[in-house]
């Protein structure tokens, strides 16, 4: 997502009408796992003028195949130039830029012999920082500025408000109440459609590992193979009573598998907080929608996503949400903490219990490495989303039955610990495919 957004930004910062050719250079972890993560695909689509939110999923592969076949690309969908991905996308495997492990440079060459070069950093979750802007801060003065969990706690206590109420008030600085609500409900719509699609798609995932999809057979065993009119009809059938504990566990895993199998197949997912960890939050929210006795409709969807987003922001500000910088604790760990906090909020937890749930979830992901086999977001990434979802639900239940005043570890402490752990972690365990399972599992990736 970050490289795609960087490509779009690059097009807005050059003299498009004067471009004769472009080159993209990928550095560090972004280069080492670039093909497996589809970074080369993302930059091509970004340069081609396609948007990740609106491009029809079934147009992704044909668009890339056309670029490869014709060696042409339409910059911003307007200006056609020669572009051969094999030559114009360069992978610097052994060199990383200083600010962040996920760096990439775009170069534009103009007809008159001049040109422009811009470097960007994909810092996780689709967020992009341009070189030179690393230390710039937002000019928006929020009514409730939050840098640490203790700031959030102070506002909740002083104003007697919940976490989503505080977050909603801050969001009003950018958009109207109606737009906030509609935007969040649209996010949920994409999430549940992604789950539905993943649960109804068979076959093998692309990339060369020959990983077989498991969400569809699991869903079929749980619910049968009848045809449903739409995702809401399907969810209604799932929600009907009589589920055993084991069945609910299987459904949570199924939801998470579905999303990340779709991600591995370059389908549409919601970055939450990253694509590799995109299955945890939808799975836990779907669990709440389908199985919680006190689910409160759209209001709960809004509360859940506002809370999850704020908790993710705390980790982004205090540590990292990039596996290239912090290992998988920064992706699955953060997503689990976000989901645990959001579920606790919707189940009636206090702001203190909400933060406690996030702390518990992250505490038990500390030190998790990122070692994708073949650089693909498949093994162990897909299954890790199921683990993150189950841990989030467990953390929420523990927090709801606990007295936060007696907690020994605060959320700020665990965020600081996560940052220190990330700094100490060997680089080969940070999304490079140079260590762990990636090193010890021999595979043939001829298709990559």
CB-based contacts of 49, cutoff 8 Å, min separation 6: 11, 74, 75, 76, 77, 78
> What whole-number percentage of the chain has pLDDT above 90?
86
* Block residue for tokens 């994909």: 122
- The answer, yes or no, to whether residue 447 has pLDDT greater than 90, is no
- Residue of higher predicted confidence among 134 and 376: 376
Helix then strand count (H, E) for the chain reads 19, 7
199 burial type by CB count under 10 A (0-12 exposed, 13-18 middle, 19+ buried): buried
Which pLDDT tens digit goes with each residue over 318-337? 999 999 999 999 999 999 99
- The answer, yes or no, to whether residue 134 has pLDDT greater than 60, is yes
Determine contact, residues 35/206, Cβ cutoff 8 Å.
no
Which pLDDT tens digit goes with each residue over 70-94? 999 999 999 999 999 999 999 998 8
Would you state the CATH architecture of domain 2-130? 2-Layer Sandwich (3.30)
What rounded mean pLDDT belongs to the chain?
94
Average pLDDT, integer, range 307-314: 98
Which pLDDT tens digit goes with each residue over 373-432? 999 999 999 999 999 999 999 999 999 999 999 999 999 999 999 999 999 999 999 999
Helices (H), 328-446: 332-346, 351-363, 381-400, 411-424, 437-440
User: What is the separation of C-alpha 221 from the centre of its chain, rounded to a whole number of angstroms?
Assistant: 29
- How many angstroms separate the first and last alpha carbons of the chain? 19
Average pLDDT, integer, range 242-255: 95
Tokens of 184: 């969040």
- Residue of higher predicted confidence among 95 and 169: 169
Q: What per-residue confidence (pLDDT) applies to 33?
A: 85
Taking the C-alpha atoms of residue 76 and residue 106, their distance in angstroms, rounded to an integer, is: 14
Which pLDDT tens digit goes with each residue over 101-118? 899 999 999 999 999 999
Taking the C-alpha atoms of residue 3 and residue 262, their distance in angstroms, rounded to an integer, is: 19
Q: What per-residue confidence (pLDDT) applies to 448?
A: 37
**How do beta strands 19-27 and 89-92 pair?**
parallel
What's this model's pTM, rounded to 2 decimal places? 0.87
Domain segments of the chain: what residues? 2-130, 149-440
């Amino acid at each position: 997502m970050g490289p795609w957004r960087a490509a779009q930004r690059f097009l807005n910062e050059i003299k498009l009408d004067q471009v004769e050719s472009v080159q993209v250079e990928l550095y560090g972890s972004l280069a080492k796992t670039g093909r497996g993560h589809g970074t080369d695909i993302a930059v091509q689509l970004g340069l081609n003028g396609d948007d990740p939110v609106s491009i029809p999923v079934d147009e992704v592969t044909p668009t890339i195949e056309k670029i490869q076949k014709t060696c042409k690309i339409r910059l911003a969908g307007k200006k056609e130039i020669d572009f051969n991905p094999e030559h114009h996308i360069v992978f610097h495997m052994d060199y990383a830029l200083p600010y962040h492990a996920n760096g990439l440079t775009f170069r534009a060459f103009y007809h008159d012999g001049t040109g422009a070069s811009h470097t960007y950093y994909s810092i996780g979750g689709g967020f992009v920082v341009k070189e030179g802007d690393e230390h710039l801060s937002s000019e928006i003065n929020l009514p409730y500025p939050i840098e640490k969990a203790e700031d959030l706690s102070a506002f909740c206590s002083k104003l007697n408000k919940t976490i989503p109420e505080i977050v909603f008030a801050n969001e009003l600085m950018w958009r109207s109440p109606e737009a906030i609500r509609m935007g969040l409900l649209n996010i949920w719509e994409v999430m549940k459609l992604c789950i539905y699609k993943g649960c109804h798609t068979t076959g093998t995932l692309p990339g060369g590992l020959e990983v077989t999809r498991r969400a569809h057979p699991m869903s079929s065993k749980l619910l049968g193979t009848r045809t449903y009119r739409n995702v809401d009809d399907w969810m209604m059938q799932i929600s009907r009573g009589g589920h055993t504990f084991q069945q609910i566990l299987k459904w949570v895993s199924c939801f998470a598998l579905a999303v990340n199998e779709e991600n591995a197949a370059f389908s549409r997912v919601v970055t939450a907080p990253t694509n590799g960890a995109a299955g945890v939050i939808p799975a836990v929210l779907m669990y709440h929608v389908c199985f919680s006795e006190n689910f409160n409709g759209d209001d709960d969807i809004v509360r859940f996503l506002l809370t999850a987003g704020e908790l993710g922001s705390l980790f982004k500000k205090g540590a990292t949400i990039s596996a290239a910088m912090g290992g998988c604790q920064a992706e699955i760990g953060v997503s689990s903490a976000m989901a645990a906090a959001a579920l606790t909020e919707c189940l009636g937890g206090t702001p203190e219990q909400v933060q406690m749930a996030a702390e518990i979830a992250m505490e038990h992901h500390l030190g998790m490495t990122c070692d994708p086999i073949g650089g693909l977001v498949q093994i162990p990434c897909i299954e890790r989303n199921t683990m993150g979802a189950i841990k989030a639900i467990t953390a929420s239940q523990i927090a709801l039955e606990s007295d936060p005043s007696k907690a020994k570890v605060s959320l700020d402490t665990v965020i600081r610990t996560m940052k220190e752990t990330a700094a100490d972690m060997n680089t080969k365990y940070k999304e490079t495919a140079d260590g762990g399972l990636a090193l010890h599992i021999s595979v043939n990736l001829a298709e990559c």
